[in-house]
Structures are given as C-alpha cells and as structure tokens.
C-alpha cells in the first residue's frame, strides 16, 4: 500500500504481532506483539513524503554514521532511498522478510559494487539482521547503525541497564565513565565503545530487552526539549534511542560481508 505522497509501506499482521515497514529508508516503523505495548516510537510530525529521513522506528544509518563528507547526508544515504522487497515468508514463528538496497536503486551510486540487506523477523520477538556486502574488488569503508527509537514512557522515569561503563559524550566532547545505569535528567548523546550485549529499558509500565550482535558500540540519544522540527514540542520525552552500531570497523575487504543484529522483546508489567 502507498500513502498520499506515494511512499510504499508493508503492513504485517500475523499470529504473534503487527508491524509496519516503509520501503523508503528500509525502515521498520511499528512493531507490537499481541497483548503487549508497542516497541517503537514514531514521531507524529514525521515527514512521510520522501523528502527527508523518517523520524522514528528503526532508521538504517549506512554506510557512514554522523556527518559525512561535505555535501553528503548525515547518517549516510540508505535511509533516504527506496529499498525493494526481496523475499517474504510466513512461518510458524512469524513473518520473515528481507528488504534490499543495491546501487541500481540509488541514482547517485550507479556502478558501485555492494549489497545491503535487512532481514526482519516479526514474531513474538523482533529480530533484525543488517547484512553489508562488499561485492567489489577493493576494500570499502563501512559504518552502520540501527538508530532505534524506543517508547520509554516518560524519559525521566526510564531506567536503562546494560550499555557499558565508558562512553564518549558527544555533547561535552569528552570521554566519561559512569559505573551504573543511566537515568535521564538532561539531553544525552553518547557513544558507549565497550558495550555489553544485553540492554534493558524499564519504566513503571513496561520492560524492553535488546540483544545486540556484530556491533562495536551503542549510541544513546535523547535531544531534550530543544527538538528538531519533525518532533512535536513535547514528543522528546516519549522515546530514547539506543542504537546498535558498528563505527570502528577498518572497512570491508573485497568480497566480505558484515552482519549487525538486534533482537528485541517488550512486555507490559
Ligand atoms: O545518534 C545520535 C545522533 O547522531 C545525534 O547526534 C542526533 O543528531 C541524532 O543522531 C539524530 O540525527 P538525525 O540526522 O536523524 O536528525
């Protein structure tokens, strides 16, 4: 199905969960196991016409994270392209689908040699595998992130365990150490460079578990009250981004492939 602006979406409703996927950005926008709260936050002010990245769900940052070279889009170009559905299979465990992005689908990247595929398993749990493949004959620089926006109740009531201890504070521009959990009192933008594999988010209503694989860091972000235009004035307090990311890879050798994975479960308390 398409929205009024012509953006294509896939709606999934199976025995375990419902989900909504945008082919623009290759982006999961909604996932909710039956009887449980929704996992992902999507901005009510998200721009859904293909003119900018969709604010919320799980944007794919690829093949770089943060500012690119001059004139290049922040967080790479993959979240600004229209991906295609490669396969869709219904199993007892849920719906398994693969979206792909190739240079042929990206007007500014014709002739390059890579393949990006996002496997999404929509079951009682949600699992994503982001496969980056260098199909060329020379090494390829690579960074990638699943820039996930999680519902957190009110961010000031959200407790997070399992990020790691040491982090780089991108707002203060210095390395920091915090031995315990994170409680929000201010905007945060941090890179945890020695992450633990299991993160838990708690508030009085629900608990979310995240298992990360293939990452070398976790990014934690909440903008605080000074929000970008595509987040409603009070919307900043409803989400936290915990981003499974690989930022320090030396690049992908010719013919190599890297997989970044995230499994999530959510349950009401
Ligand atoms: O992942 C954290 C971050 O890089 C922040 O610095 C902040 O800018 C955020 O991503 C959102 O970026 P975006 O380009 O989606 O507005």
Q: Could you read off the pLDDT of 35-47 as tens digits, one per residue?
A: 999 999 999 999 9
Residue 4 located in a structural domain = no
Domain annotation covers residue 160: yes
pLDDT tens by residue, 57-70: 999 999 999 998 99
**175-185: average pLDDT:** 70
Q: For 91-127, what is each residue's pLDDT tens digit? A: 999 999 999 999 999 999 999 999 999 999 999 999 9
> Structurally, how many domains does the chain consist of?
1
Exposed e or buried b per residue across 17-42, where buried means at least 16 C-beta atoms within 10 angstroms of its C-beta: bebbbbbbbbbbbbbbbeebbbbbbb
What's the 199 CA to ligand 1 centre distance in angstroms? 20
182: pLDDT strictly greater than 70 = no
Burial class (CB in 10 A: 0-12, 13-18, 19+), 252: buried
Domain span at residue 197 reads 9-268
pLDDT tens-digit readout, 126-177: 999 999 999 999 999 999 999 999 999 888 889 899 999 899 999 999 998 8
Paired with 3 in beta bridges are: none
pTM: 0.97
Residue 202 has pLDDT above 80, yes or no: yes
Does residue 55 carry a pLDDT above 80? yes
Asked if 29 and 57 touch (Cβ cutoff 8 Å), the reply is yes
Name the residue with the closest Cα to ligand 1, atom 4. 66
Q: How far is CA 29 from CA 25, 36, 44, 97, 148, in A?
A: 10, 16, 12, 15, 10
- The token pair that represents 230 in the structure block: 């595509």
Q: What is the mean pLDDT of residues 179-196?
A: 80
* pLDDT tens-digit series, residues 8-33: 999 999 999 999 999 999 999 999 99
CATH code for the domain of 232:
2.70.98.10
Query: Ligand 1 centroid to 144 CA: how many Å?
Result: 13
User: What Å distances lie between residue 25 and 9, 84, 131, 144, 261, CA to CA?
Assistant: 11, 10, 15, 14, 17
- Whether 181 shows a pLDDT value over 60: the answer reads no
Q: How far apart are CA 197 and CA 263, in angstroms?
A: 11
On the 0-12 / 13-18 / 19+ scale of CB atoms within 10 A, 223 is middle
Residue 2 covered by a domain: no
Pocket of ligand 1 (CB under 6 A): 53, 66, 74-75, 147, 170, 189, 219, 221, 228, 241, 243
Q: State the chain's mean pLDDT as an integer.
A: 95
In a domain, 127, yes or no: yes
| pLDDT over threshold 80, residue 183 | no
Assigned domain for 151 exists: yes
- Rg (Cα) of the chain, in Å, rounded? 18
Angle at 27 between CA 23 and CA 30, to 5 degrees: 110
Residue 18 lies in a domain: yes
Residue 107 forms part of a structural domain: yes
List, as one string, the DSSP characters of 230-243. TS-TTGGGGEEEEE
Flag whether 71 is in a domain. Answer: yes
| Per-residue pLDDT, 147 | 98
Confidence of residue 179 (pLDDT cuts 50, 70, 90): low
Closest residue by Cα to atom 16, ligand 1, is 228
Residue 173: per-residue pLDDT: 95
Q: Using a pLDDT cut of 70, give the percent of the chain over it.
A: 98
């Amino acid at each position: 199905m398409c929205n009024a602006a012509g953006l294509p979406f896939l709606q999934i409703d199976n025995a375990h969960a419902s989900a909504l996927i945008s082919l623009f950005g290759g982006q999961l926008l909604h996932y909710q196991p039956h009887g449980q709260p929704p996992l992902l936050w999507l901005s009510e002010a998200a721009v859904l016409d293909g003119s900018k990245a969709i604010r919320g769900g799980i944007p794919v940052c690829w093949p770089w994270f943060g500012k690119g070279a001059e004139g290049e889009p922040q967080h790479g170009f993959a979240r600004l392209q229209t991906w295609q559905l490669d396969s869709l299979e219904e199993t007892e465990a849920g719906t398994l689908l693969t979206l792909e992005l190739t240079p042929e689908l990206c007007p500014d990247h014709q002739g390059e040699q890579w393949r990006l595929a996002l496997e999404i398993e929509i079951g009682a749990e949600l699992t994503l595998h982001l496969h980056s493949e260098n199909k060329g004959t020379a090494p390829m620089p690579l960074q990638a992130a699943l820039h996930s926006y999680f519902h957190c109740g009110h961010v000031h009531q959200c407790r997070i365990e399992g990020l790691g201890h040491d982090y780089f504070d991108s707002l203060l521009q210095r390395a920091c150490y915090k031995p315990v959990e994170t409680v929000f009192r201010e905007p945060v933008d941090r890179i945890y460079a020695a992450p633990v594999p299991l993160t838990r988010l708690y508030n009085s209503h629900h608990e979310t578990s995240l298992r990360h694989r293939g990452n070398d860091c976790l990014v934690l972000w909440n903008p605080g009250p000074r929000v970008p235009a595509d987040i409603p004035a009070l919307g900043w307090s409803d989400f936290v981004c915990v981003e499974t990311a690989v930022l320090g890879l030396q690049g992908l050798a010719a013919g190599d492939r890297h997989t970044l994975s995230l499994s999530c479960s959510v349950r009401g308390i």
